[in-house]
Amino acid sequence: LKNPWGTSQKMGFHKAFKVAPIPEVISTDPMSEQAEVMLYTPITVNFDEDMQEVCITVQGMKGDVEAEGKTAVYKPHSVLLPGQEYDVKVTGRSIFGEALQPYSFKFTTLDMGDKYWVEINLRPLQKVVVYKGKKTIRSMVASGGRPEPENATPHGYFLLKDRGDRFWTESIAEGGLYWVRITGNWLIHSMPRNKDDEVIYEELIKHGIPASHGCIRLKDAQAKWFYDTIPTGTPCYIHD
């Protein structure tokens, strides 16, 4: 450019750019070094920035990660073993493309000693797994509730309650043998029967997939074993 006196003059231009911050982990659940963590526990990681992608790995486990905004949740495909330390590693990238500095933490699960405990896993193929301490005692194919809300099997942590050798539910015209109560009207029991105490074939062939009104079905011999073996008050974890 020329000034009023006819001589050339250089002009400089400066543009300021805002650098996106590096994302950081601000909290986790379980917390780092936490002890006596329940044996089925989704792992939650909270960040200070909205995240575009997150990877969470847990030593010796398989699971799925769901990330939304500043939170990511890892859902294990199965229970954790009791009295064991687990290493968790977290990586990811913010919505601005900035990489998280790899983050790791540890926690330790509840020690069950030599006690019985039960996992009801509603992922395909559905199953009931009985443990004694860290040892798997028995794994049995099962059927949980159908997907409609009124037929869904409840998820969570329960202590098994009372039991009986047979029941009949008039409203659905079905009964069963060797029932053990999970909570409320939700039971673990045999294959369903009609009013003549005959196994309902149309229900039998659905075994292993969601088929019930919310209860957990086992084959008759397995239901009797469970009824005879697993004490009242046994911890039970139900998840998908």
Report the alpha-carbon distance of residue 23 to residue 208 in Å, rounded: 43
The two structure tokens encoding residue 154: 């409840």
189 in active site: yes
Q: 14, 77, 213, 215: which is the annotated catalytic residue?
A: 215
Which tokens belong to 106? 């540890």
- E strands present in 95-222: 103-109, 116-121, 127-132, 135-141, 156-159, 163-169, 174-183, 186-189, 216-217
Structure tokens at 137: 């005692």
* 230 in Cβ contact with 222 (< 8 Å): no
Out of 189, 213, 236, 239, the active site residue is 189
Q: Does the annotation mark 14 as catalytic?
A: no
Q: Is 149 helix (H, G, I), strand (E, B) or coil?
A: helix
Name which of 51, 50, 57 is nearest 77 in CA terms. Answer: 57
Give the catalytic positions in this structure: 189, 215
